[in-house]
């Protein structure tokens, strides 16, 4: 099976300034992976490179077996604070429909197949009842579900989420994590999640990309959740605690 993402000595740069370098790792299909690092370390830059919005300065980069390119229908993307940019009048159904029809040109109605795909995507994220409601009137957790439905309606093989837990309470964070677990099990989709705090995700993560000292690394989650590594990464003391049930969590 082809790796979902493969980097070979990749350097990321903007305007001639290197953001990170020496990225050499693979991410297996069907896994859930966190992307962590301090502010400005290049987490969103990695997502932009996967989306084909930023080319590697050097090295070889493959996404689902091909070179990254803009508009890759096999990649679904949920940007940070996405719902806040949709305006006040957009309904949830319309937003999800754009994920299905937004790249088409010309005049034409939505087909029955389009409507069925939108219905299925909303149902998959338990948001059917939100379809007629304006996105601006939804709670943060509801908005996140609708945004994920839009990313799913094109049936992607890779799903990218940039800070999906921002402004969500603990309950809604847990609900989104369980949704990601369900999507992996039902679809086999590979999921990358940019997150500042791994605690909410630890129960579902297989590994993590971590951007440390200007370099990109990947490790199994049991290796990354390490007090010395995380303390170095965030330049502050972080303890890793294992409960009697074997669960891990971190605290500063």
pLDDT tens-place string over residues 183-224: 999 999 999 999 988 888 999 999 999 999 999 999 999 999
Sorted by sequence, the CB contacts under 8 Å of residue 58 that are 6+ apart come out as 9, 10, 11
Question: What is the spatial distance between Cα 41 and Cα 211, in angstroms, rounded to a whole number?
Answer: 6
pLDDT attached to residue 112? 81
Residues 99, 160 within the same domain: no
pLDDT tens-place string over residues 61-115: 999 999 999 999 999 999 987 766 666 778 999 999 988 876 544 444 567 888 9
Pairing assessment for the beta strands 75-78 and 158-162 based on DSSP bridges: parallel
| Contacts within 8 Å (CB) and 24+ apart, 120-123 | 120/153, 121/96, 121/149, 121/150, 121/152, 121/153, 122/92, 122/93, 122/96, 122/146, 122/149
Residue 177 pLDDT > 60, yes or no? yes
pLDDT attached to residue 244? 61
pLDDT attached to residue 166? 86
Query: Could you list the residue range(s) of the whole structural domain that residue 123 is in?
Result: 84-155
Residues 106, 225 within the same domain: no
Residue 18 pLDDT > 70, yes or no? yes
Q: How many angstroms from the chain centroid is the CA of residue 207?
A: 13
Question: Does residue 79 sit within a domain?
Answer: no
Residues 217, 232 within the same domain: yes
By C-alpha distance, which of 95, 179, 191, 98 is closest to 138? 95
DSSP 100: H
Q: Which of 76-85, 169-178, 242-251 has the highest mean pLDDT?
A: 169-178
pLDDT attached to residue 204? 95
Residues 142, 212 within the same domain: no
Residues 171, 229 within the same domain: yes
Residue 178 pLDDT > 50, yes or no? yes
Q: Which of 140, 155, 170 is the last residue of a domain?
A: 155
Q: Which of 114, 139, 155 is the last residue of a domain?
A: 155
Residue 2 pLDDT > 60, yes or no? yes
pLDDT tens-place string over residues 123-163: 999 999 999 999 989 999 999 999 999 999 999 999 999 99
Helix (H, G, I), strand (E, B), or coil: what is residue 151?
helix
């Amino acid at each position: 099976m082809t790796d979902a993402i493969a980097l070979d000595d990749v350097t990321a740069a903007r305007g001639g300034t290197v953001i990170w370098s020496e990225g050499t790792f693979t991410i297996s299909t069907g896994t859930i992976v966190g992307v962590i690092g301090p502010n400005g370390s290049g987490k969103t830059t990695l997502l932009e490179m996967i989306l084909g919005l930023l080319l590697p300065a050097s090295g070889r980069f493959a996404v689902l077996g091909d070179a990254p390119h803009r508009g890759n229908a096999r990649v679904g993307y949920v940007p940070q604070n996405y719902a806040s940019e949709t305006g006040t009048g957009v309904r949830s159904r319309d937003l999800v429909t754009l994920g299905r029809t937004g790249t088409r040109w010309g005049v034409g109605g939505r087909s029955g197949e389009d409507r069925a795909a939108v219905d299925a995507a909303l149902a998959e994220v338990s948001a059917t009842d939100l379809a007629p409601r304006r996105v601006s009137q939804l709670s943060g957790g509801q908005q996140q579900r609708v945004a994920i439905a839009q990313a799913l309606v094109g049936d992607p093989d890779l799903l990218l989420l940039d800070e999906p837990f921002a402004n969500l309470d603990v309950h809604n964070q847990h609900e989104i994590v369980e949704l990601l677990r369900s999507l992996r099990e039902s679809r086999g989709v590979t999921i990358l999640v940019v997150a500042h705090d791994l605690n909410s995700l630890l129960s579902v993560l297989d590994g993590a990309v971590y951007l440390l000292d200007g370099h990109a690394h990947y490790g199994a989650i049991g290796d990354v959740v390490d007090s010395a590594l995380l303390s170095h990464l965030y330049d502050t003391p972080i303890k890793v605690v294992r409960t009697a049930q074997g669960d891990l969590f971190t605290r500063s």
